[in-house]
Amino acid sequence: MKKINAFTKCCVWVAIENHLNFSYLLSAFFFISLFSINGFSQEAQRNITVKHTSDHIRLDGILDEPVWQTADKGDGFWQFFPSDSAKSVNQTEFRLLCDDHAIYVGIRAGIKSENIVVASLRHDFSGTSNDNVSLMFDTFNDGTTAFLFGMTPYGVKRDGFISEGGANRNGFNITWDQKWQVESTMHKDHYILEAAIPFSSLKFREGDNSWRLKVYRWDMQTNEQSTWAHVPQNQLLSNLAFAGQMIFEKPLEKSHTPVAIIPYINALTSKDFGIGKADRQLTFGGDAKVAVGNSMNLDITVNPDFSNVEVDDIFTNLTRFEVFLPEKRQFFIDNNDLFGNYGDMYNAAKPFFSRRIGLARNKYGNLIENRIIGGVRLSGKLNDDWRLGFLNMQTSEDFENEIASNNNMMLSVQKKMFTRSNIGFFAINRQAFKNYDFLDSSEVYNRVIGAEYNLASVDNSWTGKFYLHKSFQPDDKKGNLSSQATVTFNNRKITWLADLMYVDEDFRADLGFVPRAGILKNGNGFIYKFYPSGGSVSQHGPGAMALYYWRPNMDFKKTDHIYSFYYNVNFTDQSTLRLDYQNQYIYLTHGFDPTRSGGIPLPGNQDYSFNLYNLIYQSNPAKILSFTATSSGGQFFTGHNFTVGGEVTIRRQPWVSFSLNTRYDAIRLPGPHSSADYWLLTPKVDITFSKSLFWSTMVQYSNQRKNLGINSRLQWRFAPLSDLYLVYNDNYFIEKFGPRFRSINLKLTYWLNL
The domains of the chain are located at: 40-248
Taking residue 735's Cβ as centre, other Cβ atoms within 10 Å add up to: 7
Q: What is residue 308's predicted lDDT score, i.e. its pLDDT?
A: 81
Give the model's confidence band at 736: pLDDT under 50 very low, under 70 low, under 90 confident, else very high. confident
Report residue 516 CA to chain centroid gap.
22
Q: What is 40-248's CATH number? A: 2.60.40.1190
Amino acid residing at 201? S
CB atoms within 10 A of CB 279: 10
pLDDT of 40: 54
What are the φ/ψ torsions at residue 42 (nearest 5 degrees)?
Answer: -165, -175
Residue type (1 letter), 526: F
Q: Is residue 295 over pLDDT 90?
A: no
Distance CA 754, CA 170 (A): 34
From residue 229, how far is each of 161, 173, 213, 217, 681 by CA, in Å?
Answer: 20, 22, 9, 12, 43
Residue type, 137: F
Per the CB < 8 A criterion, the answer to whether 577 and 594 are in contact is no
Q: State the Cα angle at 353 between 628 and 497, rounded to 5°.
A: 60
Q: Quote the CA–CA distance of 161 and 51 in Å, as a whole number.
A: 25
Least confident of 303-317, 391-405, 587-601: 303-317
Residue 545 has a pLDDT of: 98
- Mean pLDDT for the stretch of residues 79-87: 94
| 234-277 residue pLDDT tens | 999 999 999 999 999 999 998 878 899 999 999 999 999 988 99
**Short-list 685, 686, 689, CA closest to 717:** 689
Q: What is the DSSP letter of 275?
A: T
Question: Contact, 363 vs 401, CB < 8 A?
Answer: yes
- Tell me the average pLDDT across 559-575: 97
Range ranked top by mean pLDDT from 22-36, 328-342, 642-656: 642-656
Distance CA 135, CA 457 (A): 23
Which of helix, strand or coil describes residue 437? coil
* Closest CA relative to residue 615, chosen from 645, 568, 580: 580
Q: 11 - beta bridge partners? A: none
Q: What pLDDT shows up at residue 43?
A: 59
Instruction: Note the pLDDT of residue 213.
Output: 98
Query: Count of alpha carbons within 13 Å of 641, Cβ hemisphere only?
Result: 22
Mean pLDDT value across the chain = 92
Q: How far apart are CA 646 and CA 665, in angstroms?
A: 12
| Whether the predicted pLDDT of 23 surpasses 50 | no
The pLDDT of residue 212 is above 80 = yes
Contact call for residues 182 and 157 (beta carbons, < 8 A): yes
Using CA atoms, how far residue 160 sits from 29, 83, 96, 168, in Å, is 31, 27, 20, 14
How many Å apart are CA 295 and CA 415, to the nearest integer?
A: 15
177 to each of 27, 125, 158, 202, 300, how far by Cα in Å? 41, 13, 8, 11, 16
- Dihedral sign from CA coordinates of 83, 84, 89, 92: positive
In angstroms, the CA 591 to CA 585 distance is 16
* Residue whose C-alpha is closest to residue 669's, from 640, 642, 644: 640
Which regions of 90-189 does DSSP assign to beta strands (E)?
A: 92-98, 102-110, 132-138, 146-151, 157-162, 172-173, 181-186
pLDDT digit string, tens, across residues 214-234: 999 999 999 999 999 999 999
100 C-beta neighbours (distance < 10 Å), count: 12
Rg of the chain on CA atoms, in Å? 27
Answer yes or no: are the C-beta atoms of 660 and 648 closer than 8 Å.
yes
> How buried is 275 (Cβ within 10 angstroms: 0-12 exposed, 13-18 middle, 19+ buried)?
exposed
DSSP state for residue 6 in the 8-state scheme: H
In the chain, how many H helices and how many E strands? 4, 41
Q: Check whether 532 has a pLDDT greater than 50.
A: yes
- Band of pLDDT at residue 714, cut at 50, 70 and 90: very high
Phi then psi dihedrals of residue 605, to 5 deg: 55, 40
| Interatomic CA distance for residues 397 and 391, integer angstroms | 20
Helices 22-33 and 3-17: crossing angle in degrees, nearest 10, is 90
736 secondary structure, DSSP code: T
Residue 207 Ramachandran class (φ > 0 left, ψ -120 to 50 alpha, else beta):
left
The full DSSP string for 494-521 is: EEEEEEEEEE-TT---TTSB-S--SEEE
Cα torsion angle, 491, 495, 498, 503, sign: positive
